[in-house]
Amino acid sequence: DVLRDYARRHPGRYAAARLPLDPETAAASAGVRHAQMTRALLRGYDLAEPDQTHAVRLLGSVFHGYISLELAGGFSHSAPAPEETWTWVLDRLDALLRGTPAS
């Protein structure tokens, strides 16, 4: 929920954080720490490479895709509420990662 809250409070900063960077700037950015944090979150799933990298990319894609659609009003036209769907998404991601056998 922290990332969603940040994106709602600071939509311009959130959008700017998604812009491509040259390799040197990217290596010195907070993106490296963010990837390390995501890998730390995945430790409990005991994923070996390349599954861990796939999982990092999956989480980033789902989180940023959901947030982008939510900020654009894509979920405001029908029930259930975006918060309910967000919880459902997180539960399904957890189930998916728990069901993934270690390579």
pTM, rounded to two decimals: 0.78
Average pLDDT per block of 10 residues along the chain, 103 residues long? 89 84 83 87 93 94 94 94 96 91 55
Structural domains of the chain, ranges and CATH numbers in brackets: 2-98 (1.10.357.10)
Q: Residue 35 burial by CB count (10 A; 0-12/13-18/19+): exposed, middle or buried?
A: middle
> How far is residue 40's CA from residue 38's CA, in Å, rounded to a whole number?
5
DSSP 42-56: TGGGTPPTTHHHHHH
Considering just the CA atoms, what is the radius of gyration of the chain in Å?
15
Per-residue pLDDT, 101: 62
Query: Is the CB of residue 50 less than 8 Å from the CB of residue 29?
Result: no
